[in-house]
Chain A
Amino acid sequence: MTTLSISPRHRAPSRAYHRRRRWAGPAFIGPFMAVFALVFLAPIGYSIYLSLYRDQLIGGTSFVGLDNYQRALEDAAFWSSVSRVGLFLAIQVPIMLFIALLVALALDSGRLYGKDFCRIAIFLPYAVPAVVAALMWGFMYGPRFGLVGSINDTLGTSLPNPLSPDWVLAAIGNIVTWEFVGYNMLIFYSALRVIPHSLYEAAELDGAGEWRVITAIKLPAIRGALVIATMFSIIGSFQLFNEPSILRSLAPNAINSDFTPNLLTYSLSFAGQQHNYAATVAIVMGVLTMIVAYVVQLRGMRKER
């Protein structure tokens, strides 16, 4: 009786232990996986599903296989929007990252007067929502009653209209730079702060100047941060949407409905009710962004070795 009563009691914890062990891992990541599946995988899956169909005003929904993908690859509007963000990326991102790096190095040098104020002041625009920033800049860009108009009136200058087709991409670049210099500065600055001081002391003993310290110690040490910031910026450029869509109400002829890939997707799905094709464009664009970001990351990491 006693022996019988002991043995199950002895075995029970062991079984429970095994059961716990088997389920402990999944139980911990379960909530994450559920949310991940619901808000990340399901929409992607649904978009892929949508992209295989075509819904017409006349004729309803039909399965079209990969027709939408073929259409996207041959769509001049899509490729012109891609090349526009490509151009934007090639010019705006280097400028923005260079300024951010310059500011980060200045802050890190410890020779800046009012360092904390500068850091906050430069970071502050990042705290302004993109929509508000675009509205604010849109007002300043106004060629008649805005800041640009006032400058022209008061000083008798003839600044070009930032909302004209020739200048609007640069005007958007200016807004995005204003918004994100502080954010990138912070990434670079925090990377600079963790460089061991012993390296600087060694450099000083070797007689290295400020410039040599920057090129030989600081820049190589924050290469990882540079790669990360570049990737974020590439993804951000490909996703360009808020700024052009807000300025579009002020410059409807300069910013077309297919100005950027995201604006094209938006126009297709909300003005044209072409949800299926919009989903296709979004997926093609997502794949393109992944490829470019991956290539940049590979190159960045290779250099590091």
Chain B
Amino acid sequence: MMTTARPFIRGAGLACVLLLGLTACGSSGGGASDGGASPDDVRAALAEGGEITVWAWEPTLEQVVEDFEAEYPNVKVNLVNAGVNTTEYTALQNAISAGSGVPDVVHIEYYALSQFAISDSLTDLTSMGAADLEGAYAPRPWAAVHQGEGIHGLPMDFGPIALYYNQDVFDEHGIEVPTTWQEYVEAGRALHEADPDVYIGADTGDAPLSTSMIWQAGGRPYTVEGTEVTVDFTDAGSTAFAETWQQLVDDDLLAPITAWSDEWYQGLNDGSIATLVMGAWMPPNLESGVPDGAGSWRVAPAPQWEEGANASAEMGGSSLAIPSASDNKELAYAFLDYALAGDGVQTRVDAGAFPAATAILDSEEFLATEFAYFGGQRANEIFAESAANIREDWSWLPYQAYANSIFNDTVGQAYVSHTTFAEGLAAWQAESIEYGGQQGFDVRD
């Protein structure tokens, strides 16, 4: 027993020491650099060549990488799909903590950008040439990549909201396409009465949808000033959302089907879900997931909270950023510039992406694109108009990913119990405040 116990303890001790050592050096790994490179350095790096690793799940980047490598034969780009959104953020966080395996370029959604920027994990791109790109992007995504003084990524795409609806279903029951949210509720009632199997929409509680609605209604629940944060879901915009959705849920006008599930696609295909509120990135998803709807679906501006208004908001959207721990920032920036400001943008648009670059958003060719799926409709005109009308001053929490993960624990209860939306939002607020406090923020309501 003695002889076995000794090496066993020694082995365990050694393993622990090794692991502790890893984490100890990990904590000093992040936040080393503050950029410092100039556009000249970027050009020099491009001429010299080298190798960079890109973590992204955006499918249109594959072609961009091929084209980039063809144009700069000295450069090798390893495009890695390290998982979609939170999966990738977890991997990135782990790599940053471990101090190794950090990619040179990483795909980050706007709502999650501040979480990395606030801990100095991302390179400030201002001096590398990003400062000259002011005006190259729609205002909202351009604001989204700013954190304090710095520019922490370049905008890849964004999602001005629109109403997608099934024209055939509306025609069948003689119902007009709603232009305000009150009309939306009434249309829902009329549809459901005409055919109990048909719902105006499907929703079981979705944080991105709800925050988008509050944003469009003029609500500003989050304010962020450095590490001072307030969370307040009692303003007029949030209340308008809560009251309208309360009517929709109380009268069973929304199909209790979770977005992106098999049942959801079936409902969209067979016409029992008549509308969707989604970002401008939705068309490729409809084409692949709802093939039976080809020719039936159309796009309209999102319903308004006030009659005659033209307010819009965003849902989704993402950027490419350069982690501070990257060893090859100049080359990484050259790739960002090519993919998001240079020739790569058109490549991505041709593959179906909705870009953030104004050169494309304003171009006649882009606006005139006819979508066969939408019966030849020029959907980009509606998306572009929505993009121009996005309400300003919206902020995300610096820990939005966590807040979204507890949305169904709180607001979601309004869909399945006697909890009201107002109570659900209050619970969401309370839990978001508590978490922020634990993470060292100065949070108030």
B365 within 8 A of A: no
Spot the interface stretch: A34-42, A210-218, A219-227. A34-42
Known pairs A41-B12, A42-B12, A144-B257; A253 contacts B398 (CB<8 A): no
A207 within 8 A of B: no
Residues of A within 8 A of B12 (CB): 37, 41-42, 45
Alpha-carbon distance between A249 and B205 when the two chains are bound, in angstroms = 11
Spot the interface stretch: A6-14, A53-61, A115-123, A291-299. A53-61
B57 within 8 A of A: no
CB proximity of B89 to chain A, nearest CB, Å:
9
Bitwise, B142-153 to A at CB < 8 A (1) or not (0) is 000000000000
B3–A253 touching, CB < 8 Å:
no
A33–B8 touching, CB < 8 Å:
yes
A94 within 8 A of B: no
Chain A residues 136 to 170 lying within 8 A of chain B, measured CB to CB, are 139, 142-146, 161, 164-165
Range class of the B interface residue count: 35 or more
Nearest-neighbor residue (CB-CB) of B6 within chain A: A26
Partner of A25, one of B4, B11, B16: B4
A17 within 8 A of B: no
Known pairs A30-B7, A253-B412, A272-B402; A144 contacts B255 (CB<8 A): yes
Nearest-neighbor residue (CB-CB) of A57 within chain B: B439
B351 within 8 A of A: no
CB proximity of B175 to chain A, nearest CB, Å:
21
Spot the interface stretch: A104-112, A230-238, A254-262. A254-262
Alpha-carbon distance between A272 and B90 when the two chains are bound, in angstroms = 10
Alpha-carbon distance between A164 and B416 when the two chains are bound, in angstroms = 7
Partner of A56, one of B8, B272, B440: B440
B441 within 8 A of A: yes
B406–A257 touching, CB < 8 Å:
yes
Alpha-carbon distance between A283 and B201 when the two chains are bound, in angstroms = 44
Known pairs A56-B440, A144-B255; A256 contacts B263 (CB<8 A): no
Known pairs A37-B12, A253-B415, A256-B409; A57 contacts B4 (CB<8 A): no
Chain B residues 386 to 445 lying within 8 A of chain A, measured CB to CB, are 398-399, 401-402, 404-406, 408-409, 412-413, 415-417, 435, 438-441
Alpha-carbon distance between A164 and B415 when the two chains are bound, in angstroms = 10
Chain A residues 46 to 89 lying within 8 A of chain B, measured CB to CB, are 46, 49, 56-61
CB proximity of B290 to chain A, nearest CB, Å:
14
B20 within 8 A of A: yes
Chain A residues 257 to 290 lying within 8 A of chain B, measured CB to CB, are 257-258, 267, 270-274
Bitwise, B102-124 to A at CB < 8 A (1) or not (0) is 00000000000001001100000
Residues of A within 8 A of B261 (CB): 249-250
Residues of B within 8 A of A300 (CB): none
Partner of A46, one of B16, B266, B413, B441: B16
B247 within 8 A of A: no
Nearest-neighbor residue (CB-CB) of A34 within chain B: B11
Alpha-carbon distance between A142 and B413 when the two chains are bound, in angstroms = 19
In the complex, which of the residues A56, A145, A251 has the most CB atoms of chain B within 10 Å of its own CB atom? A145
A253–B19 touching, CB < 8 Å:
no
Nearest-neighbor residue (CB-CB) of A40 within chain B: B12
Known pairs A257-B409, A267-B405; A145 contacts B267 (CB<8 A): yes
B132 within 8 A of A: no
Bitwise, B253-297 to A at CB < 8 A (1) or not (0) is 001111011110011000010000000000000000000000000
B63 within 8 A of A: no
Partner of A271, one of B8, B16, B86: B86
Known pairs A37-B11, A57-B440, A256-B408; A271 contacts B3 (CB<8 A): no
Residues of A within 8 A of B402 (CB): 271-273
Nearest-neighbor residue (CB-CB) of A22 within chain B: B3
CB proximity of B359 to chain A, nearest CB, Å:
36
A257–B440 touching, CB < 8 Å:
no
Residues of B within 8 A of A46 (CB): 16, 19-20
Alpha-carbon distance between A253 and B4 when the two chains are bound, in angstroms = 51
Residues of A within 8 A of B258 (CB): 249-252
A16 within 8 A of B: no
Partner of B409, one of A56, A164, A258: A258
Residues of B within 8 A of A59 (CB): 440
Chain A residues 193 to 219 lying within 8 A of chain B, measured CB to CB, are none
B415–A26 touching, CB < 8 Å:
no
B205–A253 touching, CB < 8 Å:
yes
Partner of A49, one of B16, B118, B417: B16
Residues of A within 8 A of B369 (CB): none
Residues of B within 8 A of A60 (CB): 27
Known pairs A249-B261, A253-B412; A57 contacts B8 (CB<8 A): no
B118–A57 touching, CB < 8 Å:
yes
Nearest-neighbor residue (CB-CB) of A61 within chain B: B27
A1 within 8 A of B: no
Residues of B within 8 A of A144 (CB): 255-257, 263, 267, 272
A272–B435 touching, CB < 8 Å:
yes
Residues of B within 8 A of A45 (CB): 12, 15-16, 19
Nearest-neighbor residue (CB-CB) of B410 within chain A: A256
Known pairs A250-B258, A253-B415; A38 contacts B15 (CB<8 A): yes
Alpha-carbon distance between A298 and B356 when the two chains are bound, in angstroms = 66
Nearest-neighbor residue (CB-CB) of A38 within chain B: B15
A253–B86 touching, CB < 8 Å:
no
Residues of B within 8 A of A271 (CB): 86, 401-402, 404-406
Q: Pull 7 A–B residue pairs with CB atoms less than 8 Å apart, ordered by A.
A: A33-B7, A37-B11, A37-B12, A45-B19, A46-B19, A250-B258, A251-B258
